[in-house]
Amino acid sequence: MPSSAPSTVMVGRAAELAEVRRLFDDVREGVPAALLVEGDAGMGKSRLLREFTAEIEHTADVHVGWCLDLGGSRTPYGPLTGILRSIVTRMGVERVRESVGVGAEALAMLLPELVDTPTDRERTSPERLRDAIASLIEAAAERAPQVLVVEDLHWADDSTLAILSFLLRALDRGRILLLLTCRSDDVRRGDAVSRFIGEATRGRLLERLTLARLDTAAVRELAERISGRPLSEAAFDRMQERAEGVPFFVEEIAGCANGPLPDGLRDLLLARFDRLGDDAQHVVKVASGAERPLSHPLITRLADLPEQRLDEAIREATRSGILVVAEDDYRFRHALLREAVHDDLLPGERARLHRAYAEALEAAASSSDTSEDAAALAYHWQLAQDDRKALVAAADAMRHAKAQYAFATAARFGELALELWPLVPDAADAARLERLDLLLVLGSILRNAGDGERALAVANLALAEVDPEAVEPRLHARLLRNKALYLVNLGRLGAIPLLQQALAIAEARVDDEVFRAELLNQLASRRMIAGDREEAIRLADEAERGAAGAPSTDQLSIAANVRGGSLAHLGEVEAGVREYERARELATGSNAEMRYRVNYSDLLTLLGRYREAVEVAEEGLRRARELRVERTSGSIMAQNMVVPLLELGEIDRVEEMLSRDFVQGTLRVFRMYMSMTHVRVLAWRGRSVEAAEMLQVWLPAFEETGISERQIWYDRVMMAVAVAESAGDLRGALDTILEMLSDERPALLHQRRLLLQGGALVAELRAEGADVAAAAGTISAAWRAQPAQLRDDAWSTILDALLEPHPDSLDAALLFADGDDVPVTFRIVLRLEQARMRVHEGDRAAASAVLAEAAEIAETLGHAQLQAAVARFATDAGLGVRRIAEPSPGADPLTAREKQVLELIADGLSNRQIGERLFISVKTVSVHVSAVLRKLGVSTRTEAALLQKNPSHSATPQPVVVA
């Protein structure tokens, strides 16, 4: 028999191998990389990576995981569990526990060996699991470069794709190379794998390497290496015609060189199989039913041959190049061979084979990974055409995947169970739950998987099947509550009536005060967001009375949270702040605590207390780091830092945070909040066309959600004003604010920032000669209509000065504007107004000086519109703006960001830790550190730290040169 093994030397892939090596060289320098190796079946994707990993096995840790071909019944976290277990084996359990801290408990959901007792699901979360996975990989990368290989991405389950998407964004440092292989012809447009690849490519998170067909010279070289002799021109032409440059087909045809070539692709793939003896063919058929490598005991049981005959059959199958032995298991040399043999089975043969596999898995279930077996059982029982057992397995697989937070995969199994339900007479007994309970669970799973539309569809289906007289009342109330939640997540109307209906059922038919308190708090929250603050307070009060005797005080915290926000929006700011303090004290669970930090930091932002808002959010991030949810829940917390940082003028930091795309994959309502800031940043930078385009994309969603969520309505106004200003349409921006004031619904604190912006627009339009008296009066009246606690503050002084400017009022306003509790742009707006007044008074020297300050601030902030306004006035007034060349005596040479970096240097933090703390890249930190050392005239971090802690420490600051 001619040689049937693949070529021992890879042919025709030198350029591709060099590309992988290039990425690895960067990785060794600490720059993570990800590469998708794609191409049609048989192109040599896995062979390329085996060649590469063999080269670097002594300089890096290589971990390989496979996605399994289980049709729609895919194993949750398919390849990841094997990769993580391989990392743990390399590091050792104790070192892993030390590295990931409390994350070990979350990791134990996938790797039970990490803990001594089974993980209590209530003590962990999806966020902790994702963060723990990232932390484990980063910890491993500190000891050696990590090469993570995920084979056959085209068979990946949704939960694996979700984790990979998260890791691509989260792993922004460390010696980590992620290599993925994907069969292009098995990726369907619009499916989960296609979406993953598209999003990662658009986000520039993933490089792609497509393996093309071999050229003529490479085909000849490969074929002659396999056949062991030169090919005649006729034989080569036949090979070219049949193989079409696909390496695997070249290998198969070269293996048939002594006989006639098969006619079609199927016959070509089965040519080796057809030359086997009966026993070897039987073993190969049995192996074709396996979705994973086969152990010897399993193939012995399934093949049912005497030991000696089995050994000879396996030996023949491996010599033929169909099966290979890998780590004491048997598998097909190539998936195409397995698929060809399996597809050639008769329907009855196929059903019997998969029944045998399912029965073998059931018999061995007690000694193997149950979640993996549950998924495989659903696959095999389906192909065995046993609907009842397939339903049992699908329901079990759904539960196992849900328990591991593999929500997308759990949803697939839940939908499979629904599909099988009408085919099984005793479906409820088989699945061990009623149909409505299945729908309730499935809706929640879909919501957690981020598929709000399907979650809503399932909720509608469930409620359509409810018989109000027969259904269990708590279940009915929960279905209504869940639908309300799904509507909120989608930014749709209708949540409040559903919550009211659920509450009515609970009050009349459910004897559970805590459950009733939860519903009351949810309804109170919706009322507050809709602007009905008095009703929100009443409901929160009632919720607090109901939850008074509960074991946990979290519902009491949430009630105080809602009450605090409602009181503040009514103008009772001090009382609201006190309620938020109660919310903090009463929060025991991480959900209630993070809810307090999100809402309180939001209130502080609305009140203009920007530094406090950032501090509350940063404390939330520190807490998230302790809980090992920094990249997940902590990222949502970071969202609340963006607006106050923008108002403080820390535009670089804001752009850095936005570039991390930390709300990608979250609920639409979170993405809506972030999009508003993104539009404002684009407008800030003068990218008015992009800002307008983004506004148009999001406008329909904001208009729909804004009907029920007053905050979103104000965000829409803020975006429209920013876009109009950036485009130079100041009158349009002012008209948008005046239109806001004509709305008859309750006014929230969000209005204050827009009124202040209205003052700036009035000043600019007045300078252009426009008649703005009526607009100024309308804005002033709206400000005076606020509750007393919201008037007569710094913002009031600034607004009055802009609406009715005179020297004293502008001087007083500027004192406030240079503090931290006023949007930083008003430092420029007020100086520009001062310069106009000085010109009007004839004091051109003073005007020039103050305009120079405005120009410098505008340039420092990178605010394109205000830079243009200052330059325009300077030109129109004939003023020369003199740049400040030297700082005043005793002035601090460091910028605000450099001061932050210096403080963290003094605390002993590394560049990586500083980057984590400030949400900036390590490269950016390095630039700031270099600037700090240069400006302080020191050469080491230690000297800088000493100088920060002891300003009298000897150091000679270097002069700051300003162009």
Distance of alpha carbon 39 from alpha carbon 860, whole angstroms: 49
How does pLDDT run across 584-595, given as a tens digit for each residue?
A: 999 987 778 888
- Give the per-residue pLDDT at 313: 92
Residues 526, 494 contacting (CB under 8 angstroms): no
Q: Where are the alpha helices (DSSP H) in 572-709?
A: 573-586, 590-606, 610-626, 633-647, 651-659, 668-684, 688-706
pLDDT at 26 over 70: yes
Pair type for strands 294-295 and 323-326:
unpaired
- Between 834 and 623, where is the model more confident? 834
Residue 69 C-alpha from the chain's centroid:
26
- Give the per-residue pLDDT at 883: 46
Distance of alpha carbon 257 from alpha carbon 176, whole angstroms: 44
pLDDT at 563 over 60: yes
Ranking 74-88, 278-292, 775-789, 937-951 by mean pLDDT, the lowest is 937-951
Give the confidence band of 190 by pLDDT, cuts at 50, 70, 90: low
- Give the per-residue pLDDT at 634: 58
Distance of alpha carbon 872 from alpha carbon 893, whole angstroms: 30
Residues 864, 844 contacting (CB under 8 angstroms): no
pLDDT at 633 over 60: no
Residue 756: how many CA atoms within 13 Å on its side-chain side?
Answer: 28
Q: Which residues contact 229 (CB under 8 A, 6 or more apart)?
A: none
Longest C-alpha distance within the chain, in Å?
110
Cross-sheet strand order for the sheet of 323-326 = 294-295, 329-332, 323-326
Give the confidence band of 213 by pLDDT, cuts at 50, 70, 90: confident
How does pLDDT run across 570-585, given as a tens digit for each residue?
A: 999 999 999 999 999 9
Residue 230 structure tokens: 């030169």
Buried b (16+ CB within 10 A) or exposed e, 249-263: bbbbbbbbbeeebbe
Residue 528: how many CA atoms within 13 Å on its side-chain side?
Answer: 26
Give the confidence band of 530 by pLDDT, cuts at 50, 70, 90: confident
How does pLDDT run across 953-962, given as a tens digit for each residue?
A: 444 443 332 2
Distance of alpha carbon 559 from alpha carbon 541, whole angstroms: 7
Residue 361 structure tokens: 């898995």
CA distances from 873 to 765, 767, 833 (A): 13, 9, 10
3-state SS assignment for residue 956:
coil
Q: Where are the alpha helices (DSSP H) in 465-510?
A: 473-489, 495-509
- Give the per-residue pLDDT at 4: 40
- Give the per-residue pLDDT at 427: 94
Residues 389, 420 contacting (CB under 8 angstroms): no
177 — phi, psi (to 5°)?
Answer: -120, 120
Handedness of CA 336, 341, 342, 346 (dihedral sign): positive
**Residue (of 874, 849, 865, 454) closest to 682 by Cα position:** 865
Q: DSSP character for 608?
A: T
Highest mean pLDDT among 66-75, 191-200, 216-225, 596-605: 596-605
pLDDT at 624 over 70: no
- Give the per-residue pLDDT at 805: 92
Q: What is the DSSP string of 176-208?
A: EEEEEEEEGGGPPTTSHHHHHHHHHHHTT--EE
Distance of alpha carbon 513 from alpha carbon 27, whole angstroms: 56
Distance of alpha carbon 648 from alpha carbon 642, whole angstroms: 10
Task: Count Cβ atoms below 10 Å from residue 73 Cβ, excluding itself.
Answer: 26
Average pLDDT over residues 443-456: 87
Distance of alpha carbon 177 from alpha carbon 61, whole angstroms: 10
Q: C-alpha dihedral over 233, 237, 239, 242, to 10 degrees?
A: -170
CA distances from 66 to 82, 179, 343 (A): 8, 12, 22
pLDDT at 433 over 60: yes
Task: Tell me how far apart the terminal alpha carbons of the chain are, to the nearest angstrom.
Answer: 81
E strand spans, 45-89: 61-66
- Between 362 and 539, where is the model more confident? 539
Ranking 86-100, 214-228, 465-479, 761-775 by mean pLDDT, the lowest is 214-228
CA distances from 429 to 36, 445, 492, 598 (A): 45, 22, 36, 44
Distance of alpha carbon 525 from alpha carbon 559, whole angstroms: 9
- Give the per-residue pLDDT at 961: 29
Vertex 923: Cα angle to 919 and 924 (nearest 5): 55
Whole-structure pTM value: 0.71
Task: Count Cβ atoms below 10 Å from residue 130 Cβ, excluding itself.
Answer: 22
> Can you give the C-alpha Rg of the chain in angstroms?
33
Q: Where are the alpha helices (DSSP H) in 228-264?
A: 233-243, 247-254
